[in-house]
A = this chain, B = another copy of it.
Amino acid sequence: MSTHRFAVNVTPKPGILDPQGRAVEGSLDHLGISGVTAVRVGRRVELTVEAADEAGARAVVERLAGELLANPLIEAYAIEPIGGASSTVSPPPASAGERHA
């Protein structure tokens, strides 16, 4: 068994109304910020999965994203491996994804 950490990035599909994004855009003037457009607000879910291997872990995350975390009618999701993969059987893969800072 090995342990993998993933992020699921859920964003409103193109064309779907995004009131939170509009609210952010509406606040920019008050902050004196210009040049910012096309703001879209979604969710980011980070989770740890214990599975036989990374493919198995990703399959679990795919199911969770499609059935619980995202509404497929109005939202798209992307699955991203993030740091922290570890294994109790074999060494962790050389590239387990990294967090952007």
Contacts and interface: CB of A to CB of B under 8 A. Distances in A.
A35 to B, nearest CB: 4
A40 B60 CA distance: 16
A38 to B, nearest CB: 4
A42 interface: yes
Given A68-B24, A68-B27, A68-B31, A44 B99 contact: no
The main secondary structure of chain A at its interface with chain B is strand
Nearest to A27: B68
A100 B99 CA distance: 11
B47 A44 contact: no
A48 B36 contact: yes
A40 to B, nearest CB: 5
